[in-house]
Structure 1
Amino acid sequence: METKHVKKDGEHVWNAFKQMKSYMEKSYLLLDQATPENYFVTANRRQVYDGVSTLLNSNLGHKHPRIQQAILEQLQRLDTASMFVSTNTAALNYAKQLLKATEDRYYSIFYTNSGSEACDTAIKIARKYWKNRGENRPGIISLEGSYHGSSIGAMMVAYGGYAMDDYALKHDYFYQIPVPDPLLHPEFGDETALVQHCLNVAQTLMRDDQACVGALIIEQVQLSNAAFALPQEFVIGLEKLCRANGVLLIVDEVATGFGRTGSLFGSEQIGVWGDLMMFAKGVTSGYIPMGGVLSTKDVFMTFWADNPESALEHGFTTGGHPVACAAASACLELLQTEQICAIAAQTGAYLREQLQALKAFSFVREVRGKGLMLALILDETIKIPGMEQWGVANIVSRFLVNKGILLYPDSDSTIIIAPALNVGKSECDMICAALRDCLEKIALLTER
């Protein structure tokens, strides 16, 4: 029997990162089904195209028969198991498959259920690594504008993006360095000078004995910073600094991984791989929650000892869940055998080119990103009469829903465009046409 819901029932589900009163009044959207063509169907039977891959995790789209089959087969074979008491064949199968896909740069996987958990896991591994080596190096460096999750540990890594006092959190031994983003640092007219400035700040921190820096965490395309792709020379420079100062490098591939930026992992494009690599989101194409941290053998072996105190006191009841691992195996196989990453790179270039035409609007500042992780940056000073309390990106995204397109307003001025990797050029054209219509409406409203 199908349950009928009224709008007020939405208050019983507390949505992520929402001021619930405003959300219920202005943005409430109730999804009921999905189609293989990557449309959501709402409870009132409207179709809305998923232009953001749920939240950059449904990389292979909705209702893929091969992934669904893998999930069903694993449910019938081994439906659940816990890493607290055993290892399971699905988890071992996927570990070997993923390690091979990274050309054996890594040695072991610690399984989690999400990107936030992967961040906390990487922090604990990095800090315990140094403890096991007899050194006190708890300091963690991250980049300004970064976001690595919403758990307590992940919040402290990206403390610049959170009101820490609201949660009574201190961020001792967590540091941030500037990124060479000209939108954040217009005072630097020259990119080379800006890159060098950012590297100098990192070097100073790493050499500060009081900072006790043991690890640096980077996301090579910063989704939370309007899909800013870190310059190659900056990433290479950071890696060199890490090696020169004995600092662990943690690469966050939660959003960038599994084809999203046009290669299996973003690390491939610059050739910089971390000592630890975080993953989640697209690993199962969003069908089952899953994440993890890949570790090199050097890091793993510091926990390999007869001394029980060297163990990593950490884990999740459903980490390495056999059904999630089976889904992940199917996804990775599809990515590798159907050339999906290369296709995503080509389609992403086409979509970005079409989006560039929107810069004809005076309030469109920039189009950024890589592959099918793209962002449209709008002038945040634009105010719409009668809607002054809303950021322009939120207004545009709401207009888009009415046109049957779902995108994600990541801030008051940033709209994320990240359709599934199997998106066609016709869907790209549809997204751009809808955006153009909405921006024309914004232009007319601001002229009043």
Structure 2
Amino acid sequence: MVDSHADSSYWHPFAAMGAVRRSELVISRADDVWVWDDAGTRYFDATASLWCVNVGHGRREIADAVHRQMLEVATYQTFGDIINPPVRELTARLAALAPMPGAKVFLGSGGGDGIDTAAKLAREYFVRTGEPGRTVLISRTNAYHGTHGFGTALAGMPPNHIAGPWIPDTATVAHDDAEALEAEIARLGADRVAAFFCEPVIGAGGVLPPAPGYIERTREICERHGVLFVADAVICGFGRLGTWFGIERFGVVPDLIVFAKGITSGYQPLGGVVVHERIAAPFWDEPGAAPFRHGATYAGHPAAAAAALANLDILDGEGLLKRADELEGELLGALQTFADHPLVGEVRGGTGVLGALGIDPERLAADPGLPAKIAAAVRSRGALVRPMGSAVAFSPALTTRPEHLEVLVDALRGGLDAVAAG
């Protein structure tokens, strides 16, 4: 057993290391919706790790697929004309599932990679189509687009704006007002705007479903002004909203889709960008077109692609997209039982297997640490939930059943009551 009270050498992401360096939670085993710490305590994983273990933990099909691939070709770069069988199969499969025609797929290692890829592609597309002045990238308040260079610049969460200087030519509009996007494009001049980045459901910024018609209206605004619509489906894809990429739920066809997380259910690091044939054309169709000078060592990693293929087989074969349609209502119903709790100001959910309890604003103002305190109290009662700035979030695996949600409700009730009682 690992000594969880020894001084750590690991620098945790998004962690106050002075507080956690001697009090780590060591996750040593996992199966389906459950994880165990090194002391043998079991927890319901109400966040599917970090929004991503869509098919649940411990799937031997994925482990076996990766093992087989590693015995054949564990890793090899895909620059120039080199490819491997699982990447060839995976990208063809993703293109066929995509909601846009003639799709092409650029692979990387995760969502942050994908955002950088999409940002560069958007700007380079306009260079190649004779509008090099289109450089501005617009995002939304509360948006989270990873922590790479472009993702940090596009962050709609002010605390994530660290370690400048910033990538120039980015702008932010209100996340819940389509007309704010129209006004910002007018202010900047449409001939300066390259792309609009939009999470179908905002995740890390609070689990904020879009208002009815918002996604459709912003897509129409982008199309009318020649602005590329980039769907950031890193959290929302691969069943999380009941469809393959999340954005299809709203009946719009984006220009680019950034994906990661659920593509392998987190079993291997993988992400990428699905590109509309119209956007790919200047890079693919012109004889002698210059290369898109962007890529990562692990782009097209064969073992990661093998994991993705096995994961897609599970999602499809077990009907987990249909299960997500049922589970989103079950999760929302479970959370709504806390609507009258004194610590809860708002229950959010109902658009996919995503939910949040927004903390009562007055209580939060008096104690900004409430989300973390609630998460800790819930953990001590057998469930792992995700504290955010003003809420506690939930995104369980698509294999979650009603009896699992009962465990979550019991842990939440006990945790909320304990924190409220001081």
TM-score, normalised via structure 1 length: 0.88
- Give the Å deviation of 1:152: 1.5
For 2:57, the aligned partner's letter is H
Distance 2:100 2:147 in 1: 30
Distance 2:6 2:396 in 1: 30
Aligned residues between the structures = 417
- Contact conserved, 2:190 with 2:227, CA < 8 A, in 1? no
- Give the Å deviation of 1:59: 0.5
Find the residue that maps to 2:337 and give its secondary structure: helix
What RMSD, in angstroms, separates the aligned Cα atoms of the two structures?
Answer: 2.0
| Cα deviation digits, residues 40-62 of structure 1 (max 9, x gap) | 22122222221110101111011
1:195 is matched with: none
> Is residue 337 of structure 2 the alignment partner of residue 360 of structure 1?
no
Distance 1:82 1:340 in 2: 32
1:193 is matched with: none
For 2:393, the aligned partner's letter is I
Report 1:167-178 matches (<5 A).
Answer: 167-178=163-174
- Give the Å deviation of 1:211: 7.5
Find the residue that maps to 1:153 and give its secondary structure: helix
For 2:86, the aligned partner's letter is A
Find the residue that maps to 1:368 and give its secondary structure: strand
> Is residue 123 of structure 2 the alignment partner of residue 127 of structure 1?
yes
Assess, with a 3 A threshold, how the Cα gap between structure 1 residues 163 and 324 changes in structure 2: closer, same or farther: closer
Distance 2:374 2:4 in 1: 26
Assess, with a 3 A threshold, how the Cα gap between structure 1 residues 161 and 211 changes in structure 2: closer, same or farther: farther
For 2:398, the aligned partner's letter is L
For 1:176, the aligned partner's letter is T
For 1:155, the aligned partner's letter is T
- Contact conserved, 2:346 with 2:360, CA < 8 A, in 1? no
2:313 is matched with: 333
| Cα deviation digits, residues 392-430 of structure 1 (max 9, x gap) | 11001111121121111122x311111110001000111
1:19 is matched with: 16
2:359 is matched with: 378
- Contact conserved, 2:2 with 2:26, CA < 8 A, in 1? no
- Give the Å deviation of 1:307: 4.7
- Give the Å deviation of 1:362: 2.3
Distance 1:49 1:76 in 2: 34
Distance 1:104 1:252 in 2: 15
Distance 1:315 1:4 in 2: 38
- Give the Å deviation of 1:228: 0.9
For 2:392, the aligned partner's letter is I
More displaced 10-residue stretch of structure 1: 79-88 or 147-156: 79-88
User: Any stretches of 5+ residues in structure 1 without a counterpart?
Assistant: 181-197
2:5 is matched with: 7
Distance 1:406 1:141 in 2: 34
Report 1:6-405 matches (<5 A).
Answer: 7-10=5-8, 12-24=9-21, 28-34=24-30, 36-85=31-80, 86-102=82-98, 105-135=101-131, 136-158=133-155, 160-162=157-159, 164=161, 166-180=162-176, 198-207=177-186, 208-209=188-189, 212-304=192-284, 305-307=286-288, 310-369=290-349, 370-382=351-363, 391-405=369-383
1:188 is matched with: none
Assess, with a 3 A threshold, how the Cα gap between structure 1 residues 101 and 168 changes in structure 2: closer, same or farther: closer
- Contact conserved, 1:173 with 1:212, CA < 8 A, in 2? no
Distance 2:237 2:91 in 1: 16
For 1:406, the aligned partner's letter is L
- Give the Å deviation of 1:432: 0.9
Distance 1:43 1:367 in 2: 33
For 1:437, the aligned partner's letter is G
Distance 1:292 1:354 in 2: 34
Assess, with a 3 A threshold, how the Cα gap between structure 1 residues 375 and 389 changes in structure 2: closer, same or farther: closer
- Give the Å deviation of 1:206: 2.1
Distance 2:307 2:240 in 1: 18
Q: Percent identity?
A: 27
Find the residue that maps to 1:221 and give its secondary structure: coil
- Contact conserved, 1:205 with 1:211, CA < 8 A, in 2? no
Distance 1:210 1:307 in 2: 30
For 1:18, the aligned partner's letter is A
- Contact conserved, 2:142 with 2:206, CA < 8 A, in 1? no
For 1:298, the aligned partner's letter is R
| Cα deviation digits, residues 185-242 of structure 1 (max 9, x gap) | xxxxxxxxxxxxx333212322333871111110010012321111231111111111
- Contact conserved, 1:251 with 1:273, CA < 8 A, in 2? no
> Is residue 404 of structure 2 the alignment partner of residue 406 of structure 1?
no
Distance 1:104 1:112 in 2: 20
- Contact conserved, 2:4 with 2:26, CA < 8 A, in 1? no
More displaced 10-residue stretch of structure 1: 111-120 or 226-235: 226-235
For 1:395, the aligned partner's letter is K
- Give the Å deviation of 1:32: 1.5
More displaced 10-residue stretch of structure 1: 417-426 or 264-273: 264-273
Distance 1:160 1:392 in 2: 19
| Cα deviation digits, residues 369-412 of structure 1 (max 9, x gap) | 2221111111254279xxx876111001111121121111122x
User: Any stretches of 5+ residues in structure 2 without a counterpart?
Assistant: none
Distance 1:325 1:163 in 2: 31
